[in-house]
Structures are given as structure tokens and as C-alpha cells.
Amino acid sequence: MDKKKQLETLALVFGAAVVIGAIWFWSLQVGDALDTLRLAYPD
Amino acid sequence: MDVLFLFEALDQSALANISKAYGGIFAVVQMFHLLAMALLGGMILVCDLRLLGLILTDISSERICKDTQKWFDAALCVMLISGIFMSSAVALKLYYNAMFWSKMSGLALGVFFVYAIRRPLLGFAHSSVNPWALKSVALSSLIIWFSVAASGRWIGFS
């Protein structure tokens, strides 16, 4: 496989991993932030 | 590997003495950090939105990506140098901050991505590259650098 093909494949796989990773990471952070807000303002 | 000793050394360094004692110097360095961040973000946005075909479609994407890359390199250097200086003021606090490590992980991932995948791939004629690969590069880049910037801001809230 030539270098360009390898980079294209890598870019596509990396892109999918980044999208999944970012959704996972930011949903955790936002979830934690919402929990903190709920504790601070129970009503 | 525990890198606490690095942060302890940074906390005791001459750099830390300056950053803790002279608020004016810290503010000027922080200004350069923020300016470099704006420049880096701007270069990322211009190149990636062009790759996605959303802006500047009358100019070739090769030219835009080539022109923005050198400014990206300069901004990254300024950010790293000013970032080390700024972190010396609160080195131990940062070591125990989870978002700081998220930011550093994102930064390492971003640097790897730019120099190992993005730049080599964009060095080919874009018309000869799989368009989905180009769009994937642009989207990955936008997500990674947004995450780095947002994690940096989040350090202040955590």
C-alpha cells in the first residue's frame, strides 16, 4: 500500500476514534458539571 | 511513571520565582499565550473550514493549508513556551488537576495528529486525496483543538 493510501486510511480511522472519544469525554464532563450544579442548587 | 518530581522541580525553579513574584511579567506572558491561542485557533479554523468546503472556496485548499501551517507552527511554539512559564506559578496545583491532564493529553494527541497525519496527507495534491479522508482530517482537527482549548478553560472552573 502506498504512503498516501496509508495516510488516508489512518485519517479515516483516527477521525472515527476522535469523534467517539470526544463524545465520550465531553458527555462525562458535562454530566459531572450538571451533578455539581444539582448539589449546589438542589431546588 | 510518576512525573510529580518534574512538577516539584518546576515549582522550585527560578522560572516559578519570577512567575509568582512578578504579576506584571505573568500578565504579559499570559497575553502572548492568549494571542498565540487565537492565532492557532484562527489558522485551524481557516484551513479546516476550507477543507470542509465552507469558506474561501475560490482559493485553492493547498495554498490555504500551506500558508496557515507556518503560522500554526509559530503559534504552537509561543503557546508551549508561555504555557510552561505560566504553569510554573501553579505547578503542583496543576499536577493534581484532572482537566490539566485532559488538556495535556489532547495537546499531545493534537501535535501527533498534525505532524504525523495531517501535514503529510495535506502535502499531496488535495484533488488526488480521498475527499472523505480530507473531511475526516478537518473534523478531527476541529474537535481535538476545540477540546484542548475548552479543557484549558475548564481548568479554571475545577
CB-nearest to A12 from B113, B132, B144 is B132
Interface residue ranges in chain B relative to chain A, Cβ cutoff 8 Å: 102, 113, 117-118, 120-121, 124, 128-130, 132-134, 136-137, 139-140, 143-144, 147, 154, 157
Determine, for residues B137 and A10 on separate chains, whether the beta-carbon distance falls below 8 Å: no
- Tens digits of residue pLDDT in A4-13: 899 999 999 9
User: Which residues from B are below 8 Å from A2, CB to CB?
Assistant: none
State the pLDDT at residue A23. 94
Closest-CA residue of B relative to A32 is B158
Which one, of B37, B7, B24, lies nearest residue B153 by Cα? B37
Instruction: Write down the pLDDT at residue B152.
Output: 86
Of residues B44 and A43, more confidence is placed in B44
* pLDDT for res B141: 95
pLDDT digits (tens, 9 = 90+) for B49-68: 999 999 999 999 999 999 99
Measured CA to CA, the distance from residue B82 to residue B77 in angstroms comes to 9
Give yes or no for residue B157 having a pLDDT over 80: no
Interface test with B, best of A3, A9, A10 (most B CBs within 10 A): A10
Best of A2, A3, A7 to disrupt the B interface by mutation (most B CBs within 10 Å)? A7
Torsion sign over Cα B49, A26, B106, B131: negative
**φ/ψ of residue B12, rounded to 5:** -95, 0
Q: Do B121 and A8 touch (CB under 8 A)?
A: yes
State the pLDDT at residue B153. Answer: 86
Which amino acid appears at position B140 of this protein? S
**pLDDT tens-digit readout, B14-44:** 999 999 999 999 999 999 999 999 999 999 9
DSSP string spanning B58-92? TS-HHHHHHHHHHHHHHHHHHHHHHHHHHHHTTHH
Give the CA angle between residues A8, B58, B136 to the nearest 5°: 20
CB atoms B136 and A15 under 8 Å? yes
Q: List Cα–Cα distances, B141 to A19, B83, B106, B125, in angstroms.
A: 10, 21, 11, 19
Residue located via cell numbers 512567575: B19
Nearest CA among B67, B56, B65 for reference residue B121: B65
SS3 B156: coil
**Per-residue pLDDT at A42:** 82
A1, pLDDT greater than 70: no
- Structure confidence by residue, pLDDT tens digits, B103-152: 999 999 999 999 999 999 999 999 999 999 999 999 999 999 999 999 88
Residue B51: name the closest of B97, B118, B96, B112 by CA: B118
**Record: contact B147-A22, CB cut-off 8 A:** yes
| Cα torsion B81, B106, B40, B69: sign | positive
Q: How far apart are CA B110 and CA B150, in angstroms?
A: 14
User: Which residues of chain A have a CB within 8 Å of the CB of B124?
Assistant: 4, 7
